[in-house]
Structure 1
Amino acid sequence: MEELNVLDNSPKTEEERPLRRPDWLKIQLRTGPNFTELKDLLRGNTLHTVCEEARCPNIYECWENRTATFMILGDICTRACGFCAVKTGLPSELDLQEPERVADSAEIMKLRHAVVTSVARDDLKDHGASVFADTVRAIRNRMPLCTVEVLPSDMGGQYEALKVLLDAEPDIFNHNIETVRRLTPRVRAKATYDRTLEVLRFAKEYKPQIPTKSSLMLGHGETWEEIIQVMDDLRAVDVDIMTMGQYLQPTKKHLPVKKYWTPEEFATLKEEALKRGFKHVESGPLVRSSYHAHEQAQSADQKFKENA
C-alpha cells in the first residue's frame, strides 16, 4: 500500500505559491481625536464592533467620521463561504435585547452613520429580519440624526422576510454580490448570483426611495469583462451604490488570492461604473463595503433629491 504523506513539503509551483502582498496594501496608522475617543468609550463599556473584530483596514478613517459596523444575530454563521473567516455551525438562540444594546452602543459612540450586518441565519423562519428591523428602529429612536444602513444575507430570497426589514425604512439597503457569476459557486456558500440580483431588484421595487448598494471583491480570478458584466447586471436592477475592493485571504484555509488588482485598475473600474449610472462608487484596494459609508448615504440622498 502506498504511504500517505500528511505534510507535503515539496517545492510549490508558481501557480500554487502564495502571491506576495504588494506595497499599496500596507496600512498606515492614522489616529485622531474621534478615533481615540471611540476606542476609550468601547473599552469603558465593554462594547464590540465588526470594525475591530474583523481588523478592518479602514477603522481609523471610519471612526474619525463617526461610522461603525455592528454584527447582530450572534457570531456563528449557517453558511461557510470560501472567503469569510466567521465561524460556521449551529447558532445559539436569539438575543431579543440585542437591538437595544446596539442602539446603546451607537448612542455612546455618537455615531453619524451606523451599519448593521449579521451572520446568515438560515435556521430562522424569517432569517433574522425582525431583529434587523427592531435594531434599525432602536437606533432611530435614540439617534434620529444617525443614518442607518443594513447589510443582510439574501434571507433565502423570501420576500416576506425582506418586507419586514425594508418596512423599518433603513437609509441604505446593502446586499453584496461579492464576485462574478462564474466564480459564485466556489466563493459563496448557498448563495446564488441570480438570487442576489433578485433581492436587490425586489428591494428597489418595494421601497424605491431607499438607495440600494452592492459590493464586489476582486482577486478570485475574475476577468475584466466579467467585472463589467457585474456592473451591468447591478444597474439592470437599479442598484444605486457600488463598492469594489481587493480580496485578502484571512487564513490558509480560505480561498487563495489569484491576483492583486492595482490602484490604477481600481480607478479605471470606478470610471466604468460611474459611466453606467451608479449614483456613488467607491473603488480601491482597501475599500470595503462600509468604506466612506456616511458619504455614500449623503451622496445617494442628494442624487435622489436632484432627480425628484
Structure 2
Amino acid sequence: MVTLLDTVTQGNSQAERPRHPEKAHRPDNPIQRKPAWIRVKAPTSPVYRETQQVVRSNNLVTVCEEAGCPNIGECWSKKHASFMILGDTCTRACAFCNVRTGMPGPVDPKEPTGVAEAVATMGLEHVVITSVDRDDLADGGAGHFAEVIQAIRERAPSTTIEVLTPDFLRKPGALETVVRARPDVFNHNLETVPSKYLTVRPGARYFHSIRLLQQVKEIDPSMFTKSGIMVGLGEERNEVLQLMDDLRTADVDFLTIGQYLQPSSKHHAVARFVTPDEFTAFEKIAYAKGFLKVSASPLTRSSHHAGEDFADLKRARAAKLGQAASA
C-alpha cells in the first residue's frame, strides 16, 4: 500500500549542499496562496509518528517530506510506503520537480536487499518502486530496478509491486529488463502535455514516453500500465483530451491527474488552480475514452492510494473480460 517514501543515502543530507543550485538561473516565481480545496490539516495521528520513526530509524529520506506532498499526513497515518531507489540526485533538472539535480553517486549494491527487508518488516500489501533519472548509467538503472523487484519477490512474495520508472531515453534494452522482472503495474508519467515539455520537462521527449508505455503492452499484454499528469501549468483543455487519446492509443489502463503545486520560487509557476469540478469532468471524459481506472482530483498524486487503485484495476479488467465473453 503506497505513497512516496524513498530509500536514499543519508550521507546526501540537505545540510551538506544547496537544495536547488541548478535552478538558480531561473527567475523568482512567488508561490501563490492555495485555494481552500487544496489545504489539508497538519498530521497529528500517532500512526503518522510511528511511520516517521520507521523512516528515521532506517536512515531513509522521503520524497513526501522533500516535495512537501499534501497527502503525507493521510498516507503516513496508514503506513503507506513507496521507495525511491538509485539515490537522491537526478541527472535532469525538470522545472516542476523538487528532487536535487547533479551528478549522482555510485549505485548501492545492498539497496535491493534493504528495500525488500523494509517491505517485509512493514508488512506492505502493495509497494511502489520509483527512482531518479540516471542518465549516467548505461542502462538507466533498469538492472537495479529488476534486482529490487526480484529481492521483494523473494522476501515478501505476497506483496504486489508497482514501478514508476524514468523514460530510459537512449537506453536500448532497458525497458525490456524491467518488464521481464514482472512488476504488477508499470507506471511512467507523462507529467504534462507536449507543448509544455520544453519549459517543464526539457530533458524528456513526449512521444518517446508514449512509445515506452506502448512497448510495455507489446512485450507483456497482461501487464497493467499507468501514467499521470499535472494540470495548472498553462495547458489547454483540448491538449489534455488529446493526451488522453494518445495514452489510449498506447493501451494505457490507468490515468492520474493532479494539481501542480510549486515547490519553491525557483520552480515553474502555477498558471492556475484547476477547480474540483474540472477534475470531475476530466475523470468522466477519461472513463468514456476507455481507461480502466482514472484518479483525477486536486490532491491526486501518482502513488496516492496505489494499493486500493490496483485492486480496482483488477476488478475493472475482470468485468471487462466478463462483458466481452457474454457478448
TM-score scaled by length of structure 2: 0.85
- Residue 43 of structure 1 corresponds to 56
**C-alpha distance in structure 2 between counterparts of 1:143 and 1:48, whole Å:** 22
Structure 1 residue 44, shift from structure 2 partner: 3.2
1:1-308 map, 5 Å:
19-29=32-42, 32=45, 34-156=47-169, 158-308=171-321
> What residue number does 1:8 align with?
none
SS of residue in 2 equivalent to 1:173: strand
4+ runs deviating over 6 angstroms? none
Greater CA radius of gyration, 1 or 2? Answer: 1
Gapped regions of structure 2 (runs ≥ 5): 1-27, 322-327
- Residue type at the aligned position of 2:239: E
Relative to the length of structure 1, the TM-score reads 0.90
CA offset at residue 306 of structure 1? 3.4
Cα distance in 1 between the residues matched to 2:290 and 2:57 = 44
Residues 149 and 174, structure 1, Cα contact 8 Å, conserved in 2: yes
Measured on the aligned residues, the alpha-carbon RMSD in Å equals: 1.9
> What are the Cα deviations for residues 226-245 of structure 1, in whole angstroms up to 9, with x where unaligned?
11111111111000000000
Aligned residues of 1:51 and 1:68 also touching (Cα < 8 A): no
Number of aligned residue pairs: 294
1:158: Cα distance to partner? 3.6
- Residue type at the aligned position of 2:300: V
Q: One-letter code of the match for 1:270?
A: E
CA contact (8 A) 1:279 1:303 kept: yes
SS state at 2:268 partner? coil
Report the Cα offset of residue 33 of structure 1. Answer: 5.8
C-alpha deviation, 1:251, in angstroms: 0.9
Would you say the 8 A contact 1:31–1:60 is kept in 2?
yes
* SS at 2:313 equivalent: helix
CA contact (8 A) 2:31 2:264 kept: no
Structure 1 pair 303–139 and aligned structure 2 pair: CA distance change class (3 A): same
Cα shift readout 1:68-100 (whole Å, capped 9, x = no counterpart): 111111111111111012111111111111111
Q: Deviations 1:192-215 (Å, cap 9, x if unpaired)?
A: 110110000001111111100000
Percent identity between the two aligned chains: 46
State the secondary structure of the residue aligned to 1:302.
Answer: helix
* Bigger RCO (CA 8 Å, 6+ sep): 2
How far apart, in 2, do the equivalents of 1:121 and 1:163 lie? Answer: 17
Which amino acid in 2 is paired with 1:26?
R
